């Protein structure tokens, strides 16, 4: 083999070895719960396991096919209730003005209406799953948001960095167009 070809081959092999053994980004071991909550905190696996766990068989479309898995973990609503969502008692059904924003470490974001999660309103089973098919996640962080009734996995979030509760204030009534023009 010619020396140039040999050197190029060795460089390629060294690069392949380095890239295949390079340290992968470390998934977060906790996420922050913040915003319009009384007790903001860092949430880790131990915290999630201290909440009541539920399991759900979920069938959804992802990656060009249909998948079915059994997910286990607490409801997002239960975590929010323990942290205490800040509500204004002077605002009728103030929970309906709140949104829950879930942000992943790669910037992926999904949003849920707090009324969607509230058992008194929507009661959607949104899980903070720490197990899939009775096994902990090996990639994508220690927990995933699983919107159990969604048809696709689009609102499923892994590598969760932050969950934030926000109050959405609508435009003042005088700024809205009149439903009955004169």
Q: pLDDT tens digit string along 44-71?
A: 999 999 999 999 999 999 989 999 999 9
Q: Is 151 helix (H, G, I), strand (E, B) or coil?
A: coil
CB 102 within 8 A of CB 157: yes
CATH number at residue 87: 3.90.420.10
Residue 19 lies in a domain: no
What's the pLDDT tens digit per position in 100-110? 999 999 999 99
Q: Give the bridge partners for 147, in sequence order.
A: 126
Q: Domain of 102?
A: 27-169
* Spatial strand order in the sheet of 135-136: 54-62, 65-73, 131-132, 135-136
On the CB side of 116, CA atoms within 13 Å amount to 15
162 in a structural domain: yes
- Please indicate, yes or no, if residue 31 is contained in any of the structural domains: yes
Count: domains in the chain: 1
In a domain, 18, yes or no: no
Q: How much is the pTM?
A: 0.78
């Amino acid at each position: 083999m010619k020396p140039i070809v040999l050197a190029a081959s060795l460089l390629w092999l060294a690069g392949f070895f380095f890239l295949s053994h390079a340290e992968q980004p470390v998934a977060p071991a906790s996420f922050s719960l913040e915003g319009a909550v009384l007790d903001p905190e860092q949430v880790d696996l131990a915290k999630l396991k201290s909440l009541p766990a539920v399991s759900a068989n979920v069938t959804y479309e992802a990656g060009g096919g249909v998948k079915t898995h059994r997910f286990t973990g607490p409801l997002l609503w239960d975590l929010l209730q323990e942290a205490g969502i800040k509500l204004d008692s002077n605002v009728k059904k103030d929970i309906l003005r709140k949104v829950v924003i879930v942000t992943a470490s790669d910037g992926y974001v999904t949003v849920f209406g707090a009324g969607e999660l509230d058992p008194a309103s929507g009661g959607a089973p949104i899980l903070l799953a720490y197990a899939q098919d009775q096994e902990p996640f090996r990639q994508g962080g220690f927990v995933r948001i699983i919107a159990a009734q969604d048809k696709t996995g689009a609102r499923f979030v892994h590598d969760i960095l932050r969950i934030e509760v926000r109050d959405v204030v609508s435009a003042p009534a005088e700024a809205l167009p009149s439903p009955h023009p004169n």
